[in-house]
Chains A and B, each alone.
Chain A
Amino acid sequence: MIEITSPPVILIAILGTIGMILPVISILRKEKGSSSLYGAIAFGALIASIGYVVYEVFTNQIPQSALFSGDVLANDSFSALFAIAMLIVSIMTTVGSFNFMRGQSHPAVYYSLILLSTIGMVLVAYSTDLVMLFVAWELMSIPTYVLAGFMKKNPSSNEAALKYFLFGALSSAIIVYGISLVYGLTGSTNIGVVIAGLATLDPQMMPLAILAVGMFIAGFGFKMGLVPFHMWLPDTYEGAPPTITALLAAGTKKAGFAAALRVIIMGTVALNLDWSFALAVIAVMTMTVGNVAAIMQKNISRMLAYSSIGHAGYILIGLAVAPFTILGIQGSLFHILNHAVMKGAAFIAIAGIVVALGITNIDKLKGLGRKMPIISIGLVISLLALAGVPPTAGFWSKLMLFGSALDTGVPSWAPWLAIAGVLNSALSLAYYGWIIRKMYFEGETEKRIAEPKSIIAVMIFSIIFLVGIGVYPDPIIDFTKTAVPSLSALITPSG
């Protein structure tokens, strides 16, 4: 049995308890009082959680390679990396919501659902059993369906929630179908046992195993926003409250990658399938569709939603070259962590703009650099990091991803992935540059206005993180290196 003091159990205890208590406090207070109180309690719980995970990492109590476990949860550095990324996103969302939720109804439920969804996200990364993975997946998704539609009087928010729910339910059904197939084939739901079972499968059963892996790709692909499973994403990201969009784009999406790394990559290796080329094609399609569509957008939330699809394509490069080099997955993990902060910061900045000015149209961002200088600089840094401009964190992770595709000489198509990635990054700079131009080079008569303080706090953190990692990336690179061997031990031999 998993130890009671291991991080996933402690996270369930802290976040679950506070998540359940918040609505009760609200009822006891008769739903009166400041919404910041609930935000502060949620913030405290999240800080305690991330503090515990970081403490465990720094005191070397987390084993480096424990990809599979005889239990439903594994406490390894791979999971710890995802847990830290997701907890950072949840903290950014919670703090960013202080101003956003002022005057809105049901703040206690709002923060409670963020905490419960965070447990799901983190537990997806820790899961080593398919039933556990699915239950965590649902705990991550169900609160976000509600949060996407939290602005009940806003038709866009309702549309966002409904689309997200329908596609989410479909993806869950597809994942369950995949789980039932592998359970039928191997007689177990433990991922380690399943992988071992698939490796020694009767060749006659191979089509069913391939079907199961295909189901996992489709099911997790919906959440990751891979083309052609991305249709729901722009409408949902545009319609949902921007703080919740930050949670979706930077948090739940990354949980999809955690699940994909544990299940799909391992499954393809066990089945000895050459899916690398298929993943490479999906990667190029995803990044190209995302970036080309982003150029045509006039709404900044929608533009960033498409850019998010593009980034899913970049991360997929690492997964496509995973059987040939460990640098691929390392680059993916690094970019997942960076993208969580970059995209989270960008959407929280939009939340700040919505709170102060109520606009999301790019044409109306004229002179924003003068009106809201701190939020603007935070947005600019996150956009530059998304484009991969040095010295920001995004530069290093993109370098590692594209470098992994160039370095591995085995499949002849691999360098083309790097070329596609560089071209798409150049393309993305065009639309990020357009936003920056509007903010700083137009509307010169604009006067400064008051900026939401909680959003400023998130911006300052993001600037320090993105520039700090950009200047001194070594600690994070080392950390991602410790998370990779657990995967590469299995992957490298088949290459």
Chain B
Amino acid sequence: MADSVFLAISVLTIGSAIAALEVRSLIYGSISLMGTLGGIAGYFLLLDSPFVAMFQIAVYIGSIAVLILFTVMLVRRQLIFTKVEDPRRRYAGIGLMLIMMVALGAIILSSGIKTIQTDAPPIDFRTIGADFLTYYWPALILMALILASSVVGALTLARREDMEDDQRTN
């Protein structure tokens, strides 16, 4: 049962990831990305981590993907880059990916990973919260600084320089 669910989630995740990259329309691409992020939430559910799955859905699908969708709808649909397609690069990329997948798969299968216990109890989310406020507290502060720098940096880069302040307010 778990195997078939795992396979279904994998098809959904990888399929929508490829679609997100390949689909020409940005809106369909963003919706496909939601599928990938939802698939990852599915993996967390399979791994007995409902708390992480819930956050994956709430944060990634609920806010980030929706934000991307809004941004796509609000910005001007004007091509600023000329797309240069080179089929050789595409095939080289696919070839490299297959080599990586086979190599990683071979390493994982040749290790004794099947003997790992899978009946360990799921981690209590209260432990995660307590860890963040005790052992990981400097990391928590740094995460806040990362978010702040990302927002400040993104706003600066996204701001149009060719508009005067009065134009902006109008």
A72/B156 in contact, CB under 8 A:
no
A152/B157 in contact, CB under 8 A:
yes
* Interface-facing stretch out of B49-57, B64-72, B86-94, B108-116: B108-116
Size bracket of the B interface: 20 to 34
> A39 at the A/B interface (Cβ < 8 Å)?
no
Q: Which of A112, A153, A210 touches B152 (beta carbons < 8 Å)?
A: A112
Task: Tell me how far the C-beta of A21 lies from the nearest C-beta in chain B, rounded to whole angstroms.
Answer: 11
* Interface-facing stretch out of B10-18, B35-43, B135-143: B135-143
**Interface 1/0s, chain A 170-206, versus B by CB < 8 A?**
0000000000000010000000000000000010111
On chain B, the residues within 8 Å of A152 by CB distance are 157, 161
B148/A20 in contact, CB under 8 A:
yes
Residue of B111, B142, B148, B157 with most chain A CB atoms under a 10 A cut-off: B142
Q: A2-B138, A120-B142 are in contact. Are A204 and B115 (CB under 8 A)?
A: yes
* Complex CA–CA separation, A142 to B134 (angstroms): 26
A72/B135 in contact, CB under 8 A:
yes
Task: Tell me how far the C-beta of A198 lies from the nearest C-beta in chain B, rounded to whole angstroms.
Answer: 13
* Complex CA–CA separation, A136 to B135 (angstroms): 15
Task: Tell me how far the C-beta of B143 lies from the nearest C-beta in chain A, rounded to whole angstroms.
Answer: 6
On chain B, the residues within 8 Å of A149 by CB distance are 157
Contact residues of A between 101 and 159, Cβ < 8 Å to B: 105-106, 109, 112-113, 116-117, 119-120, 123, 129, 131-132, 135-136, 138-139, 142-143, 145-146, 149-150, 152-153
Q: Which of A9, A139, A150, A208 touches B149 (beta carbons < 8 Å)?
A: A139
Contact residues of B between 137 and 170, Cβ < 8 Å to A: 137-139, 141-143, 145-146, 148-150, 152-154, 156-157, 161
A153/B139 in contact, CB under 8 A:
no
B107/A207 in contact, CB under 8 A:
yes
Q: How many of chain A's residues have a CB under 8 angstroms from any CB in B?
A: 46
On chain A, the residues within 8 Å of B161 by CB distance are 105, 152-153
B138/A113 in contact, CB under 8 A:
no
B111/A206 in contact, CB under 8 A:
yes
> B104 at the A/B interface (Cβ < 8 Å)?
yes
Q: A72-B138, A149-B157, A204-B115 are in contact. Are A142 and B149 (CB under 8 A)?
A: yes
* Complex CA–CA separation, A56 to B21 (angstroms): 51
On chain B, the residues within 8 Å of A12 by CB distance are 138, 141-142, 145
On chain B, the residues within 8 Å of A470 by CB distance are none
On chain B, the residues within 8 Å of A123 by CB distance are 138, 142
Q: A119-B142, A139-B145, A208-B113 are in contact. Are A131 and B152 (CB under 8 A)?
A: no
* Complex CA–CA separation, A202 to B157 (angstroms): 49
Task: Tell me how far the C-beta of A66 lies from the nearest C-beta in chain B, rounded to whole angstroms.
Answer: 16
Task: Tell me how far the C-beta of A13 lies from the nearest C-beta in chain B, rounded to whole angstroms.
Answer: 9
Task: Tell me how far the C-beta of A77 lies from the nearest C-beta in chain B, rounded to whole angstroms.
Answer: 20
On chain A, the residues within 8 Å of B142 by CB distance are 12, 119-120, 123, 132, 135-136, 139
A23/B134 in contact, CB under 8 A:
no
A208/B136 in contact, CB under 8 A:
no
Q: A109-B153, A146-B153 are in contact. Are A131 and B145 (CB under 8 A)?
A: no
Q: Which of A19, A109, A208 touches B108 (beta carbons < 8 Å)?
A: A208
Q: Which of B107, B135, B145, B154 touches A208 (beta carbons < 8 Å)?
A: B107
A–B complex contacts, Cβ < 8 Å, 27 sampled: A1-B134, A1-B137, A8-B138, A9-B138, A12-B142, A16-B141, A72-B136, A106-B156, A112-B149, A113-B153, A119-B145, A123-B142, A132-B136, A135-B143, A139-B142, A143-B153, A146-B156, A149-B157, A152-B161, A204-B112, A204-B115, A205-B113, A206-B111, A207-B107, A208-B107, A210-B107, A211-B107
Please list the residues of chain A having a beta carbon within 8 angstroms of any beta carbon in chain B.
1-2, 8-9, 12, 16, 19-20, 23, 71-73, 105-106, 109, 112-113, 116-117, 119-120, 123, 129, 131-132, 135-136, 138-139, 142-143, 145-146, 149-150, 152-153, 184, 202, 204-208, 210-211
A19-B145, A116-B149 are known contacts; what are 5 more A-B pairs with Cβ within 8 Å?
Answer: A12-B142, A20-B145, A117-B149, A143-B149, A184-B116
Please list the residues of chain B having a beta carbon within 8 angstroms of any beta carbon in chain A.
104, 107-108, 110-113, 115-116, 134-139, 141-143, 145-146, 148-150, 152-154, 156-157, 161
A-B pairs with the 3 shortest C-beta distances?
A204-B112, A146-B153, A207-B111
